[in-house]
Structure 1
Amino acid sequence: MTIDHLIDAVLDREGGYSNHPADRGGETAFGITAAVARANGYDGAMRDLPLATARAIYRRLYWLGPRFDAVAARAPLVAAELFDTGVNMGPPVAAAFLQRALNALNRGASDYPDMPVDGRIGDITLAGLTAFLAWRGAGGERVLLKAIEALQGERYVALAERRPANEAFLYGWLANRIG
């Protein structure tokens, strides 16, 4: 699956313009918040955000910037999940899920060293991912994906518990963002 396919899938899930009263992100277009659009040079009405601008933002901020493309070269299913999670929760949260899962799956650091959980994909994280996949083989990517999705699901439930207004989104998050 290419980044263009992943962006298409996010666009299908996110839809066009939205301004849900319970959404702390405020106005969005194609899932891009006004704050992100403004920070990336768009100054028009969110209802008019060009699709090409949204695509460029997704590619730059949610794929290339966090280095999920480097993850994709090793584990494409994991990279696809990190991209979608990054869109919904922020790339540092998605990257931290990968780091936490890799640390928990390294058998007490006997397969590869623990890494800092800093929410940034760097050489240490990529080396841990490579070592994990070499040790666990083809099935390892699916297990790693399950661990990341478990962390994601727990975060969604915790968000709804901490802020009751988020309960309006919980069903959709669980139905459309996990698995």
Structure 2
Amino acid sequence: MTVKAMIDALIAREGGFVDHPADRGGPTNWGITEAVARAEGYDGSMRTMPKSSAAAIYRRLYWEAPGFDRIAERAPALAEELFDTGVNMGPQIATGFLQRALNALNRNAADFADLVRDGSIGPKTLAALDRFLETRGPASEAVLRKAVDALQGERYLALAERRPANEAFVYGWLANRLD
């Protein structure tokens, strides 16, 4: 899937303007919070924010800046998962899930050294991913994607347990964000 198609699908899932009282993010449109929109230079009404503005923000902040485009060169389905997780939870959290999963799957550092879970995609994370994919073969990308998905699901449940108001969202998160 191209990045444009991925962003278009995400925008379609996110829908238009929402201002749910239980959402700490406040008013959102196309899944973009008002705080993010303002930080990115959008100063109009959130209710009328154009899809094109949201798409540009998604590409810049949630695809290119965290380096998910570099993951896509190696493992496109994994990059798509990281992008979606990063949009919902933040790119650093999504990257931390990747690093945590790689550490758990490296056979006690026999395949590659453990990564520092810093939430940043750098040369060591990319090298570990390359080694994992090379060592574990064709099914490895799907396994890694499942591991990231599992960590995401656990986080949704923890968020609902820590803040009961999040129970308003957990069903939708599980239904729409996990494969």
TM-score range, shorter chain: over 0.9
- Distance (whole Å) between structure 2 residues aligned to residue 48 and residue 12 of structure 1: 16
Unaligned runs of at least 5 residues, structure 1: none
Q: Which amino acid aligns with 2:140?
A: G
Which residue is 2:49 aligned to? 49
Secondary structure of residue in 2 paired with 1:17: coil
Q: How does 1:149-168 map to 2 (within 5 A)?
A: 149-168=149-168
In structure 1, the partner of 2:174 is 174
Separation (CA, whole Å) in 2 of partners of 1:44 and 1:8: 21
d(CA) in 2 for partners of 1:144, 1:64 = 21
What secondary structure is seen at the aligned counterpart in 2 of 1:92?
Answer: helix
Deviation, structure 1 residue 125: 0.3
TM-score norm. by structure 1 comes to: 0.99
- Note the C-alpha offset of 1:5: 1.1
Q: In structure 2, how many angstroms separate the alpha carbons of the residues matched to 1:81 and 1:146?
A: 9
| Superposition pairs of residues 1-150 of structure 1, within 5 angstroms | 1-150=1-150
Structure 1 distance, partners of 2:9, 2:51, is: 14
Alpha-carbon distance in 1 for matches of 2:154, 2:134: 28
Give the residue type in structure 2 aligned to 1:42.
Y
Q: CA deviation at 1:12?
A: 1.2
* Identity level (%): 66
Q: Which runs of 5+ in 2 are unaligned?
A: none
The CA RMSD measured in Å over matched residues stands at 0.5
CA shift, 1:50, in A, is 1.4
Q: Cα offset for 1:40? A: 0.3
For 1:108, the aligned partner's letter is: N
Q: 1:12, 1:49 → 2: CA distance? A: 14
**Matched letter for residue 85 of structure 2:** T
Number of residue-to-residue matches in the alignment? 179
- Runs of 4+ with >6 A deviation: none
